[in-house]
Structure 1
Amino acid sequence: MPDQKIDNLLNLAMDATPQERRKSGNLNVGYDPATRLWDVIIKYSGPESGLAGNGIQVVSLLGGYAVVTLPESEIDEYSHRVQVEFMEKPKRLYFELFQAKGASCIRTVQTGRNGLTGKGILTGVVDSGVDYFHPDFRNADGSSRILRLWDQSIQGNPPQGYVTGTEYTKEQIDEALALGENQGRRLVPSSDYSGHGTSVLGVAAGNGRASDGVNQGVAYESDLLVVKMEIPRENSFPRTTELIQGIDYLVRQALTMGRPMAINLSFGNNYGSHEPYN
């Protein structure tokens, strides 16, 4: 019967053949075949003094955790020590974009003859702005994928029907890009100081030019509409009045262009009733 103090994956690794472990790509994570030693994570209680031993190395961590390096032959016996509450094998870490795209099946719909790339649609974002010089938001010829950029924090030329900020067109952004960063940012002085808007737009629609196609977003061939919310006031965050105007602007732009659009909103709150509907 599997040891109940050992997590399922480590139990499975112990029961598998060496060939099965190598093929799995996961069961051998934490195992060094050259030394036949395992790195494992344990939760323990009591003194640290009884954790180490002959051929067993322990790195004690806060909260009653430790990383233990020990021979594979010692794992079962080690788990029966009184102070050991639980033992698990390491898991491989991935870049979040890779993991998320796989889990959401985005890679499946992007590949193949009729793969979906976002071509012909608009991706809109209301956030902290965008680094419009970033390669992921530029076409192969260096021009911008951003069709409109409304920076609510720069006063002077708001979009028609609105009273705050300045709207920049693709033509203005392309001119700024052609001038280079020093002069271009004087022409279009919109910046993303926190980097949050740039990051989420990259996940939603980055084309991967900065990483030779490795870090492509979801709709990587879509055109972009960006709203940077007004300079934060109380508690360093924008307000819902700015957010709703940003959404309204994006919808109006999509209607005017006659194109479908997906909007990414990574700002929010948990105000209001949390009572379930009957």
Structure 2
Amino acid sequence: MPSCEERIYSNDYFSALLDFWPLEEEIDNITERYCYMKISDILGALVIDKRLLTSLSYTDYTYRLLPKLYAPMQNVSFPLLKSGIIQVQQPPLSLTGRSVIIGIADSGIDYTLPAFRREDGSSRILAIWDQTIPYESTSGAADQSENADEADRMRRWNDDRVEKRRTLDVPFGTVYTRAEIDEALRSENPFLKVPSRDMTGHGSAMAGAAGGKVGEEIYGGAVDAEYVIVKCKQANRDLRRFYFIAQEAEAYSETDIMLAYRFMDSYCEPFRKPLVYCLGMGSSMGPHDGTSLFSEFLNGMALKRSRAIVVCGGNEGNQAGHFAGEGDQDVELRTGEGVDGFTLEIWGSIPEIFSIIILTPGGESTAVLSSIVSNSKRITFIFEETVIYAEAELAEQSSGRTLMVLRFERPTPGIWRIKMRNAGMFHMWLPVKSFLGGEVFFLQPDPEITLTEPAYAREVISISAYEDATGAFWGESGRGYAADGQIKPDFAAPGVDIPVPGRAPLALPGPNGAENMNDLGRFTVTGSSMSAAITAGAVAQFLEWAIVRENDLFIKGREIKSYLQRGAAKEAGVEYPDRRWGERDIIVPS
């Protein structure tokens, strides 16, 4: 029987979320048949053999429990000055994030960069959990070794790793501690000892924008903060197929992201230091009102003392991926050539029960599809190859609102029309742009309510992006408010042409793992993930003042947000809060 870890990495198994905690005897039974991973006291994930599944659908698993996929929010004048970050690094405050930890779950980190090392060369990274590197036992190799000393060394090393794995309670992957990272940095070929790499550079860019420093060159506010990093594994093949996302696209399952946050929280507990989480990924699938499962999870973490969560608002503002309407209305959607498929979500309002008719570019139409019918429907056409899978939930479990999900397979290029009937206020959302394999957009889009999930979570600090050089709002940035009128985003921060430390082009392994370690540089990155990273650095500076310097020892996320609102810069003649700016530019209160 495969181990739990082998099942997690295998495409023969599928992961679904549970929003309840099974009884102890149920866990034992589940473990024999499946594999259970605890995320929180009331949240976990089941890894299930696909042969036991009838299908992958919302009808079988409910919309709430089928993991959504998240994309990095990056598009591949000095912003820190305007935000007040540089000023508070100077006397008399001298706030640099000392004794504060920044947690980032993303594509990993290039731990060899000078920006993440102290002056003595040691690492500022407390740990890296690399979800992509399976744990490998050396006990078998030790038994086969003819050298007794070597076999004994391998057994002791394996025992240490097993104990570390048990203590850290990670269900898969490999954790590298600061001691191991420092040992790797002292070696000629660091990646032979700690083979964790950031293959896209996105995670490293975020860490740099939050607290990077090379000599006298400052990239982020929290230049003395430490890091806990999780390199998330890519979503498996079946989830990608379900959502029609290309295998080469960067896509992360919310299950793995939530596990990452659980790890960061538990790993940092013994250090008794403030912790700032920073999320630079997002999804346009969800209720957009702060009630999603991921939002609930983050709200619970943000209410802990000495914790803050900063979430980017996404880059979907000008992607024509949102439509808002009311009553009977025809909605037009254009698809281009070469699109394999896409998902469209229709969210109604309580207590309305709507119905739709879909008209193809060739003039065919579906029967009436009602949101009251919850079973899955497979719709085909006579003259077109397109297949539409339609599923509905009259009262979606998280929000209570009516939801219909349409999955288009091999959509015919041209104009599709969705005739809404008996609807009150409704919203439609397409996936984030990077998940679409081509041209898919609404002909009359609404740029509002385009923040990505989970930026609508009430207790997190949600950030939109603007261009520091001009002071103008960045058009690609997501915008509020929430679908229920909740005020989001909370703030705006610089997100265009943000300088970050890095390595270009991305270094590839040479012989025996050796690399050119001198191909360092200063690069610029654009995206709301950079806005979130800059804000995370500012929040780390603030937590140094509040907790480390004992000015407000019991502070938590809600109070941190309140402090920042009081220091936010506002322009005369503009009414705040604003759908684009929130409370305007993030300023570290001084």
Q: TM-score, normalised by structure 2?
A: 0.29
Whether the 8 Å CA contact 2:234–2:253 is kept in 1: the answer is no
Q: Deviations over 1:10-44 (max 9, x none)?
A: xxxxxxxxxxxxxxxxxxxxxxxxxxxxxxxxxxx
Partner of 1:146: 125
Work out the CA distance in 2 between the residues paired with 1:241 and 1:218. Answer: 30
Task: State yes or no: 1:112 paired with 2:91.
Answer: yes
Q: How does 1:22-171 map to 2 (within 5 A)?
A: 99-156=78-135, 158=165, 160-171=168-179
Work out the CA distance in 2 between the residues paired with 1:102 and 1:172. Answer: 36
User: Which residue among 170, 190, 202 is the counterpart of 1:196?
Assistant: 202
User: Could you tell me which amino acid in structure 2 is paired with residue 138 of structure 1?
Assistant: R
Partner of 1:227: 230
User: Which residue among 167, 181, 186 is the counterpart of 2:192?
Assistant: 186
Q: Indicate the RMSD between aligned Cα atoms, in angstroms.
A: 1.7
Work out the CA distance in 2 between the residues paired with 1:164 and 1:238. Answer: 16
Task: State yes or no: 1:218 paired with 2:218.
Answer: no
Whether the 8 Å CA contact 1:152–1:231 is kept in 2: the answer is no
Work out the CA distance in 2 between the residues paired with 1:226 and 1:103. Answer: 28
Q: Deviations over 1:230-262 (max 9, x none)?
A: 134433311101111111111112222111011
Work out the CA distance in 2 between the residues paired with 1:143 and 1:241. Answer: 32
Q: What is the aligned-residue identity percentage?
A: 32
SS in 2 for 1:179: coil
SS in 2 for 1:123: strand
Task: State yes or no: 1:244 paired with 2:258.
Answer: yes
Work out the CA distance in 1 between the residues paired with 2:198 and 2:235. Answer: 13
Work out the CA distance in 1 between the residues paired with 2:227 and 2:207. Answer: 9
SS in 1 for 2:223: coil
**Alpha-carbon distance, 1:163 to partner:** 1.2
User: Could you tell me which amino acid in structure 1 is paired with residue 255 of structure 2?
Assistant: T
Question: Which structure has more helix as a fraction of its residues?
Answer: 1
SS in 1 for 2:224: coil
User: Could you tell me which amino acid in structure 2 is paired with residue 186 of structure 1?
Assistant: L
SS in 2 for 1:273: coil
Work out the CA distance in 1 between the residues paired with 2:90 and 2:200. Answer: 33
User: Could you tell me which amino acid in structure 2 is paired with residue 258 of structure 1?
Assistant: R
Work out the CA distance in 2 between the residues paired with 1:232 and 1:112. Answer: 46
**Alpha-carbon distance, 1:270 to partner:** 2.4
Work out the CA distance in 1 between the residues paired with 2:130 and 2:266. Answer: 16
Q: Deviations over 1:166-217 (max 9, x none)?
A: 000111000100003x3x20110000000000001000011x22xx322331
Q: Deviations over 1:133-180 (max 9, x none)?
A: 000001111111111110000010657322111000111000100003
Work out the CA distance in 2 between the residues paired with 1:111 and 1:260. Answer: 21
Task: State yes or no: 1:276 paired with 2:484.
Answer: yes
Whether the 8 Å CA contact 1:101–1:107 is kept in 2: the answer is yes
User: Could you tell me which amino acid in structure 2 is paired with residue 135 of structure 1?
Assistant: P
Partner of 2:305: none
Whether the 8 Å CA contact 1:123–1:262 is kept in 2: the answer is yes
**Alpha-carbon distance, 1:103 to partner:** 3.0
User: Could you tell me which amino acid in structure 2 is paired with residue 200 of structure 1?
Assistant: M
Partner of 2:211: 205
Q: 1:232 to 1:272 in 2, by over 3 A?
A: closer
Q: 1:250 to 1:192 in 2, by over 3 A?
A: same
Q: Which has the larger radius of gyration?
A: 1
Work out the CA distance in 2 between the residues paired with 1:216 and 1:113. Answer: 21
Q: 1:135 to 1:232 in 2, by over 3 A?
A: farther
Q: How does 1:1-16 map to 2 (within 5 A)?
A: none
SS in 1 for 2:182: helix
User: Could you tell me which amino acid in structure 1 is paired with residue 275 of structure 2?
Assistant: M
Task: State yes or no: 1:176 paired with 2:181.
Answer: no
Question: Which structure has more strand as a fraction of its residues?
Answer: 2
SS in 1 for 2:252: coil
SS in 2 for 1:144: coil
Work out the CA distance in 1 between the residues paired with 2:254 and 2:130. Answer: 16
Work out the CA distance in 2 between the residues paired with 1:107 and 1:215. Answer: 9
Segment of structure 1 superposing worse, 100-109 or 186-195 = 100-109
- In the alignment, structure 2 segments of 5+ residues that lack a partner are 1-76, 136-160, 289-482, 487-590
User: Could you tell me which amino acid in structure 1 is paired with residue 257 of structure 2?
Assistant: L
SS in 2 for 1:256: helix
Whether the 8 Å CA contact 2:103–2:277 is kept in 1: the answer is yes
Aligned length: 176
**Alpha-carbon distance, 1:108 to partner:** 2.1
**Alpha-carbon distance, 1:264 to partner:** 1.4
Work out the CA distance in 2 between the residues paired with 1:276 and 1:260. Answer: 32
Partner of 1:267: 281
Work out the CA distance in 2 between the residues paired with 1:196 and 1:232. Answer: 17
User: Could you tell me which amino acid in structure 1 is paired with residue 101 of structure 2?
Assistant: L
User: Could you tell me which amino acid in structure 1 is paired with residue 109 of structure 2?
Assistant: V
Work out the CA distance in 2 between the residues paired with 1:261 and 1:109. Answer: 19
Work out the CA distance in 2 between the residues paired with 1:218 and 1:166. Answer: 30
